[in-house]
Amino acid sequence: MPVEVTLRRAAEEVGRGDLASVLRARQRLVGLVTSFPDRLDLRERLAEVYRLLGDAAQAGRWSYLAEERDEAEVAAFERAYRTPMARLAALNWTGGEEAAATRTARDRLVALHAEATEQLRRELVVADDRDSSPVANVLVLLGLVVVLLCFVVGAVTLVMGAFRWMTG
């Protein structure tokens, strides 16, 4: 179904105002945003539907890249998706920053990518600090040697026992 026809049907369903119709409109718009993730107008329409449903976090999610957005909704989105990596994934933006149609959207994507990169860098530093203990590495190596020795002794014992049993 062409985008414009789907948008018209979604608008009619929202216009009806009953919950079932608004939920159908939401599904239509989710499908459109999934198919056309770089269209900011579709994201804004989806945010409007979530506003009607009273879901501030989702309204903030889908209006995050918009020129004008409700900061309370954005704060709800940021509380629901606590890390920059989670927010970046939730936006479902498949193109790079240059695919954004507006300067505001590009700037917000660049800022969010920078925050996510910084978060990842901090996590890697913490992981490096945890994994770099020489004492822990030596203990793991000794444990592996003990397990290997037990395996070898057990295998030799099994073979010798089987040999004695067969030779009687």
Average pLDDT over residues 38-64: 96
Please give the tally of structural domains in the chain. 2
Cα 161–chain centre separation: 56
Structure tokens at 83: 């890390």
pLDDT of residue 64: 96
pLDDT at 69: 93
Does 100 lie in the same domain as 64? Answer: yes
Average pLDDT over residues 41-68: 96
What's the rounded Cα separation, in Å, for the pair 55 and 47?
9
Cβ atoms within 10 Å of 135's Cβ, excluding its own: 7
Both 55 and 109 in a single domain? yes
Residue-wise pLDDT tens digits, 78-134: 999 999 999 999 999 988 888 888 999 999 999 999 999 999 998 887 766 555 677
Whether residues 107 and 27 fall in one domain: yes
Is the same domain home to 125 and 141? no
Long-range pairs, 10-18, Cβ under 8 A, ≥24: 10/45, 10/49, 14/48, 14/49, 14/52
Together in a domain, 56 and 111: yes
CA dihedral (10, 12, 13, 18) positive or negative: positive
Q: What is the DSSP letter of 12?
A: H
Closest CA to 112 of 76, 61, 73: 61
In degrees, rounded to 5, the angle at the alpha carbon of residue 52 between the alpha carbons of residues 2 and 94 is 50
Residue 143 shares a structural domain with residue 117: no
Q: How confident is the model at residue 148 (pLDDT cuts 50, 70, 90)?
A: very high
| pLDDT band at residue 168 under the 50/70/90 scheme | confident
pLDDT given at position 95 = 82
In this model, does residue 41 exceed pLDDT 70?
Answer: yes
CATH code, domain with 120: 1.25.40
> For residue 4, what pLDDT is reported?
92
Q: Are residues 92 and 141 in the same domain?
A: no
Q: Are both 97 and 123 inside the same structural domain?
A: yes
My answer on whether 41 and 95 are in the same domain is: yes
User: Do 108 and 166 reside in the same domain of the chain?
Assistant: no
3-state secondary structure of 96: coil
- Identify whether residues 117 and 163 lie together within a single domain: no
Alpha-carbon span 8 to 159, nearest angstrom: 78
Task: Give the pTM.
Answer: 0.71
* From 106-110, 127-131, 151-155, 157-161, the region with the lowest mean pLDDT: 127-131
pLDDT at 132: 61
Range of the domain at 20: 3-132
- Measured N-to-C along each axis, helices 40-53 and 19-35 cross at an angle, to the nearest 10 degrees, of 160
- Residue 136 pLDDT grade (very low, low, confident, very high; cuts 50, 70, 90): confident
Q: Examine the domain organization and report whether 150 and 97 are in the same domain.
A: no
